[in-house]
Amino acid sequence: MSRTGIGIDSHAFADGRRLVLGGIEVPSARGLVGHSDADVLTHAIVDALLGAAGLGDIGQHFPDTDPAFEDADSLDLLRAVLSDLEHAGLRATHVDATVMMERPKLSPHRDAIRARLAGVLGLEIDRMNLKATTGEGMGFVGRGEGVAALAVATLEPRT
Ligand code: MG
């Protein structure tokens, strides 16, 4: 039987930080603040995978009070969760995600981000979908204060 999980995350913009989305550094005047690399998209995907597996959330697995995860590459957190899924007899078969960001435009980087995430997840590219939208000037996304990401993951038993 398949299992589905959702994940949502947000991080604030600040000067002097990098903007990392799905493991790809996107050129931007400002980046995202966080204990790790603040890869909001990868964090949402990690939470979706954990949710589908019934394994809690990213904060339980990688506490932001733990110095081990300071400036962590979030793709390494994703790899660790995929290993947990394997031990639980599960594998990811599909991920759909949306990044909500006013600027910069995500579209020039979408294919690279998709390919990077699909590679880590071990998915065909058409099973790692990535969408982008803005906040239409409304809320923290619309005012350019930060970025939000949403993800849905589907898992199947390993056969
Ligand atoms: Mg986060």
Residue pLDDT, tens place only, 22-77: 999 999 999 999 988 999 999 999 999 999 999 999 999 998 888 888 888 999 99
pLDDT score of 108: 97
Residue type, 95: V
Q: pLDDT (tens digit, 9 = 90+) per residue, 134-152?
A: 999 999 999 999 999 999 9
The answer to whether 19 touches 28, Cβ cutoff 8 Å, is yes
The strand pair at 31-32 and 20-21 is best described as unpaired
Please name each of the domains of the chain with its CATH number: 3-157 (3.30.1330.50)
Report the 3 state secondary structure along 104-121. CCCHHHHHHHHHHHHHHH
Q: Express as a percent the part of the chain with pLDDT over 70.
A: 100
159: CA distance to ligand 1 center in Å?
32
User: How many angstroms separate the alpha carbon of residue 141 from the centre of ligand 1?
Assistant: 15
- Within 10 Å of residue 19's Cβ, how many Cβ atoms? 23
User: Can you tell me the mean pLDDT for 14-19?
Assistant: 96
Tokens, residue 125: 């590219």
Task: Give the pLDDT of residue 64.
Answer: 84
CA 158 to ligand 1 centroid distance, Å: 28
What is the Å distance from ligand 1's center to 60 Cα? 12
Residue 59 C-alpha to ligand 1 middle, in angstroms? 9
Residue 66 has a pLDDT of 85
* pLDDT score for 69: 82
Residue 131 scores a pLDDT above 90:
yes
